[in-house]
Amino acid sequence: MRAYLDAFGLVFGAFDFGLDHGGAWQWYECNPNGQWAWFPDHITTPITRVIADHLQHGAPA
C-alpha cells in the first residue's frame, strides 16, 4: 500500500479489500478521498484529526 501511495504521490488512501469464497484477500481499489462519515463520531474524529495533522505538518520523524 505504501508503494502504491508513493507511486501516485498520495499521503492518504482508503483501500478497499474483500475476501473471496476461498478466504483469499482481494484488492478492489484505492480511494484518495475515502469516506468514513457513516462511522460514529468517536471513530471519525480521530481519523479526521490524524489526516489533517499529517497533511498540514507531514509525517512524524
Q: What is the 3-state secondary structure (H, E, C) of 18-59?
A: EECCCCCEEEEEEECCCCCCCCCHHHHHHHHHHHHHHHHHCC
pLDDT digits (tens, 9 = 90+) for 1-50: 999 999 999 888 889 999 999 999 999 999 988 787 788 999 889 988 98
Is pTM beyond 0.75 here? no
Domain span at 26: 2-57
Number of domains the chain is built from: 1
Residue 61: the pLDDT is: 57
